[in-house]
Structure 1
């Protein structure tokens, strides 16, 4: 059974957010959630029975003023958010994930994932990683790879830990949701292509990150990050104009009530604009696509405590609400 906290405990910045909701036995639908935790069914409000959140994002510049008006219009029918199941807010066509984008996090990973035969003291390896991070911020490019939409699940859904995942870990991340087709955009204009922001937890099986059988190949992101449900997303998308500065938000993840990650996006090596711009240099970003911007220090490898059956993760980001997911061990025959 999924762990579903009262959505009223997860406020967001601004007058409204976009969500995808449902009631039992009926298909999900796009909704406007007001700051009072009330729901407006956008199929009815916009007179489009086939409407989806992604279609809203495909026409974001035109629809945004209408959504603002709906949020202010007291005549629009509303129901309490607690009447609905909350799903991932959008079904993206593409998911762009970022690795090694928080300075302290990467230093910790560098120390935890030492190469076989590297017997140097920890402080020496930590100093080496710090020097690498400072050089990257100045001279290098972001590290971006492709995730699978099929790994996405709702913000309150259970996460099944595969039986083969020996070291499943958490990674809370800020997500930029694309609102206009973007290709080859500059850093200065990149945020103009962001419709809003959301929360993701980019779960990773540390045991399968590196191909030990083929070290010359390197990382295996398919196996380590893309199991079904390994990317809890949401609970909603908060419009970009409701977030004053995406590069100054606090990310906090608690495991069974104990704080594990608690860091500002200020610690990013490459900020949101640089991440979106970089992804667009190679790929054609589409409305509804997700750009995950990396995770800060405090993952399970750092604490020496990986995920196991029954664990509950609470993740929050300033102005974006909160998600809660429970880990459930895979049942094998």
Structure 2
């Protein structure tokens, strides 16, 4: 799907962003997209026919000045963005996902996922959830798990709702894109390893989050989050310097034109630096990897309205552009 002309005037913060594009009948390629909706094919500009966005991130410190120069240079051949299809901006090797990182969202989920037999008033259960959040923040313990790159799809692609998914839900998230390997980095060092930011809609089937057959095992993230296309990503990777402070970005998701999520990253319990640092204490983060930072309040469980065939989700995050994805029911096999 090409970018609609009405969206081109406010693509992203800063003078340029990275994208993965293709002509309607061609192979995908790494692109520099300028703020006036023009495209520079980076294979030609950097003289590398096999170049990918992940290759650029592998050498981010050296590449970034060259990209900045290209964005301001009138010499490279350019083409209108509207002529191209927009894909997910990068193919990560690893996807680190954060759960329970927006205070109000977690409280809402705690109330919605009432355990069988728990007849306490809602106010009491909300107070319990708030206490849990306060304790997690004080103990400095983010919650991170692993997602599959195969779940990623483009920012304007249709999303197939599996026939087995009884309660598919949306979860718009800010995603940090790693630009330098990070292993056991401190919170103070963490942002130096982030090349830029993009947006992800981390869809979840609420009916399969918890293993009812084995409650002692807990959550089943493979089943609930990793169906093909369950992570629409992009459209762009915006350099970290252009985004600036991620402590007050607005996340907005509309379902069929009605606002469902509309919250600031101020509601995060753990900020981007803390999430990247925490993940790096166990795993080695690699260039192109994603660190999703959790989703704010306003998911379908809160509204009592889950995703259905034909639904259209419009999502945006300050400075990072916009997604539009349509839900299509998968035919049962």
Shorter-chain TM band: over 0.9
- 1:306 maps to 306
- 1:181 maps to 181
Equivalents in 2 of 1:139, 1:92: separation in Å?
30
Question: Which consecutive unaligned segments of at least 5 residues does structure 1 have?
Answer: none
1:98-113 alignment to 2 at 5 Å?
Answer: 98-113=98-113
- Kindly state the Cα deviation for residue 294 of structure 1 after the two structures are TM-superposed: 0.1
What's the secondary structure of 1:64's corresponding residue?
A: helix
- 2:22 maps to 22
1:1-333 alignment to 2 at 5 Å?
Answer: 5-6=4-5, 7-8=7-8, 10-332=10-332
Contact 1:88 1:155 in 2 (8 A): yes
What's the secondary structure of 1:247's corresponding residue?
A: helix
Equivalents in 1 of 2:63, 2:9: separation in Å?
28
Equivalents in 1 of 2:68, 2:10: separation in Å?
20
Change in CA separation of 1:309 and 1:278 when aligned onto 2, cut-off 3 Å:
same
Change in CA separation of 1:268 and 1:220 when aligned onto 2, cut-off 3 Å:
same
Equivalents in 2 of 1:37, 1:93: separation in Å?
29
Equivalents in 1 of 2:284, 2:273: separation in Å?
16
- Kindly state the Cα deviation for residue 4 of structure 1 after the two structures are TM-superposed: 6.2
Equivalents in 2 of 1:9, 1:102: separation in Å?
31
What is the root-mean-square deviation in Å for CA atoms of aligned residues? 1.1
TM-score (ref. length: structure 1): 0.98
- Kindly state the Cα deviation for residue 5 of structure 1 after the two structures are TM-superposed: 4.0
- Kindly state the Cα deviation for residue 25 of structure 1 after the two structures are TM-superposed: 2.6
Q: 1:258-289 CA deviation, whole Å, 9 max, x = no partner?
A: 00000000100000000000000000000000
What's the secondary structure of 1:90's corresponding residue?
A: coil
- Kindly state the Cα deviation for residue 43 of structure 1 after the two structures are TM-superposed: 0.1
Q: 1:9-62 CA deviation, whole Å, 9 max, x = no partner?
A: 652000000000001232100000000010000000000000000000000000
Contact 1:101 1:270 in 2 (8 A): yes
201-210 vs 23-32, greater mean Cα deviation: 23-32
Equivalents in 1 of 2:177, 2:129: separation in Å?
31
Equivalents in 2 of 1:3, 1:113: separation in Å?
39
- Kindly state the Cα deviation for residue 312 of structure 1 after the two structures are TM-superposed: 0.3
Equivalents in 2 of 1:225, 1:10: separation in Å?
31
Contact 1:155 1:235 in 2 (8 A): yes
The count of corresponding residues between Structure 1 and Structure 2 is: 332
Question: Which consecutive unaligned segments of at least 5 residues does structure 2 have?
Answer: none
Contact 2:94 2:289 in 1 (8 A): yes
Q: 1:183-214 CA deviation, whole Å, 9 max, x = no partner?
A: 00000110000000000000000000000000
Equivalents in 1 of 2:253, 2:18: separation in Å?
23
Equivalents in 2 of 1:290, 1:56: separation in Å?
15
Equivalents in 1 of 2:244, 2:56: separation in Å?
22
Equivalents in 1 of 2:247, 2:73: separation in Å?
32
What's the secondary structure of 1:322's corresponding residue?
A: strand
- Kindly state the Cα deviation for residue 140 of structure 1 after the two structures are TM-superposed: 3.5
Contact 2:2 2:81 in 1 (8 A): no
